[in-house]
Amino acid sequence: MKVTLDNIRERESRHVLQTYRRQPVAFIRGSGAYLYDVDGRKYLDCVSGIGVTSLGHAHPGLTAVIADQAATLLHTSNLYYHPFQAEAAVRLAELSGLPRAFFCNSGTEAVEACLKFARRYWHTQGVTDRTGFVAVMGAFSGRTLGALSVTHDEHYREPFGPLIGPVTFVDPLKPEALAEAVTAKTAAIIAEPILGEGGIRPMTPAFAAAINEVCARTGTLFIADEVQTGLGRTGYPFYSRALGLDPDLMSVGKALGGGVPVGAALVSERVSRMVSPGDHGSTYGGNLLGTRAAAFVLDQLMNGLIDHVKVVGAHLERRLRALALQHQAIVEVRGAGLMRGLEVSTDAMAIVNDARDRGLLVNRTDEVVVRLLPPLTIDTGEIDRAIEVLDGVFSTASQRARI
Ligand code: PLP
């Protein structure tokens, strides 16, 4: 049977739990910054599987490493040693400044682990009532009950209560509110350096300073959720460091395996001293395939890819700012490196749909923001092509608005 979009949709609609609103396209192949659908149509991918495929699709080096590991040994569990957890952990320590890693399988699990380690830190010291968290309005940290508890959107939370608590959400534009929100019962503050799902909104220097001040004064731990911002996406290894933050814990996921599901909770020495064998675990977490892929991706980042992001990220920003001057519907350009958002006054989903029809993939976040998360390997010519398509899309949108 020939694979068509219609027969995939029909079979999914009967047998796959309907938790996703999919766009009407099915991809079967990729190469570099491009994806190909079931009909062979080519798309410039400025979504990267939501910030995952940082090396582009079918990267020859990553493909070779994955194929070699699959043919050698995939998984043994955490009952035994293998070489690659240490390989990935050494590189993560060098990039993040946090010396130890706990490996898991997703960003959500990384957040979950950070929340648990933060509580464990206090519990081990006999402080059993510092269990609360302070999170940020607009934050998205995942969908398991712990990660959901520090995710702000009521729409995601409300049907699944009661969640873990107490969690207090603070407006990131009111840094003065942070000192009041943190109490003697707060285990940790958790925040994304740039709100990703919350509309590509960078943390202000004033809010970063308030986190540093309150953590230094009260001993409260700081968890940087770097699942979307981390691993070179912004032109820095981790954006929390660029903001002058000094996290005790970091959640990492998405790009870590370049598409192989692997996440990590990165932990400071003072937190790791409070964690003992048996405190947390995962059957798959840190298996040979995932951590070997991660070590490969990290090598690419450390050997020039982050510097490349700085250069092409600045080019993307210049081009997007010029585009915004030409199109009134673009209200604001935000972000850093290759993590960019255009807040629009027009229907953002119509922009996404029209761009896709023209062979460019971007996505919508926070209702009014068109987000670009291209592969970190994208070049300036491909960025220029994406801008050209967006120029056409916004021109059509403004013509539509005038009719
Ligand atoms: N944290 C942040 C900042 C994210 O953007 C996401 C996903 O978008 C998550 C956590 C959850 O990651 P995952 O969906 O890979 O489990």
Q: Using the predicted structure, report yes or no on whether residue 2 has a pLDDT greater than 90.
A: no
Q: What is the per-residue pLDDT for 256?
A: 98
Which of 112, 149, 227 most suits a substitution to test ligand 1, by most atoms within 8 Å of the C-beta? Answer: 227
Q: Which atom of ligand 1 is nearest to the CA of 195?
A: 3
The arithmetic mean of pLDDT across residues 325-335, rounded, is 98
- From 247, 273, 301, give the residue that closes a domain: 301
Q: Are residues 270 and 136 in the same domain?
A: yes
Q: How far apart are the first and last CA of the chain?
A: 44
Residues 247 and 314 in one domain: no
**Residues within a 6 A CB radius of ligand 1:** 50, 106-108, 111, 140-142, 192, 196-197, 225, 227-228, 253-254
**Shared domain check, 182 and 126:** yes
- Domain check: are 210 and 234 in the same one? yes
Task: Give me the helix-helix angle, 60-72 and 288-300, nearest 10°.
Answer: 160
Residue 158 has pLDDT above 90, yes or no: yes
Averaged pLDDT for residues 299-317: 98
| Pocket-testing residue among 254, 256, 260, 364, ligand 1, by greatest number of atoms within 8 A of Cβ | 254
Count of structural domains, the chain: 2
- Per-residue confidence at 276, pLDDT binned at 50, 70, 90? very high
Give Cα 293 distance to the centre of its chain: 17
Q: Do 380 and 261 sit in the same domain of this protein?
A: no
Structural domain boundaries enclosing 170: 62-301
66-70 contacts at long range (C-beta below 8 A, 24 or more positions apart): 66/260, 66/289, 66/292, 66/293, 69/288, 69/289, 69/292, 69/293, 70/289
**Catalytic positions, written as ranges:** 140, 225, 254
**Among 289, 302, 337, which residue's Cα sits nearest to residue 94?**
302
Give the mean pLDDT of 2-15. Answer: 95
- Residue 325, both tokens: 């001057």
- SS3 letters for 5-40? HHHHHHHHHHHCCCCCCCCCCCEEEEEECEEEECCC
> Closest Cα partner for 191 from 202, 176, 179?
202
218-264 confidence digits (pLDDT tens): 999 999 999 999 999 999 999 999 999 999 999 999 999 999 999 99
Q: Ligand 1 center to residue 140 CA distance, Å?
A: 7
In what order do the strands lie in the sheet containing 339-344? 330-336, 339-344, 369-372, 363-365
DSSP 8-state class, residue 57: B
359 pLDDT higher than 80 = yes
Distance 251 CA to ligand 1 centre (A): 9
The residue contributing the CA closest to ligand 1 atom 10 is 141
pLDDT average, residue stretch 52-56:
98
Residues 268-289 have a mean pLDDT of 97
- Decide if pLDDT at 403 tops 90: no
